[in-house]
Amino acid sequence: MQKEIDEYLSYLLIERGVAQNTLESYRLDLHRFISYFAEKGKTDPGKVLAQDIIEYLVWLKDKGLAATSMNRVLAALRGFYKYLLREKAIAETPLAHIELAKVWMRLPDTLSKEEMNLILAQPGRETVQARRDSAMLELLYATGIRVSELINLKMSSINWQVGFLLVMGKGGKERIVPIGKTAYDCVKQYIDEARPQLLQKNNSDNLFLNRFGNKFTRQGFWKIVVRYAKKALLQKKVHPHTFRHSFASHLLEGGADLRSVQIMLGHADISTTQIYTHITRERLREIHRRFHPRG
């Protein structure tokens, strides 16, 4: 099956323009799939039956795979077998009558506005690294972009005249997001005062640079977020995506419409954005319980 999978992944990359992160997830899922069936002596995808797929999914569930991950596995397998059908490599797909796993979506972790202000105040502006960290955190909260989108920003990504950020999202889709005055000023100060010192003698178009003048990694920025969360003495577990969740939640709390938030987040389906309306309702209930005399 390895040859067919390699051809399918090449098809996704070249013809479908699938995002690199999605492609890598599918690669891992499909390699686990062929390893499982190789041990059972099945190396021809056309010989894998529906019952085999069900047994494989049960095996994954027993290993503790979450419902969201199960859905991704099924999406990878559906796409793979659909490709094989298209190429006439198989006569039928074993996944025709297998439903996606039921996903009970857990509400994402968010920070309150007060907690967000606390963490944003931690870097300060005393050093080159502090000004850079402050600019990254402010921009992340102001725009709700993903950490992968943040570290891939270029110097040309910001339109200074109108205060908008041009973001390259999943699947190579571009979107425009307002920056806001606080993040605008913070990033401008970083570019004027800190970035030239980080750049040193390098020649880079990346907006945010590490101490060696190179592009940030996801892991490097994750460590920065965790460090400032601890410094702020926050009891919650905070990671870069917490900023994205908080961005959406705070916008909706402030009266923003769901469609606008969807566009800024870059969600293809508004049902993905709707989870944040549940956060808002839960917070309203909590406020009512805490402050109403009969709450």
| Sheet bearing 158-159, strands edge to edge | 158-159, 164-168, 174-178
State yes or no: is 276 an active-site residue.
yes
Among 32, 218, 241, 283, which one carries the catalytic annotation?
241
State yes or no: is 146 an active-site residue.
yes
Among 146, 195, 245, 250, which one carries the catalytic annotation?
146
Among 26, 141, 184, 276, which one carries the catalytic annotation?
276
State yes or no: is 267 an active-site residue.
yes
Among 42, 61, 170, 215, which one carries the catalytic annotation?
170
State yes or no: is 31 an active-site residue.
no
Among 195, 244, 245, 250, which one carries the catalytic annotation?
244
Among 72, 131, 132, 267, which one carries the catalytic annotation?
267
Q: What positions carry a catalytic annotation?
A: 146, 170, 241, 244, 267, 276
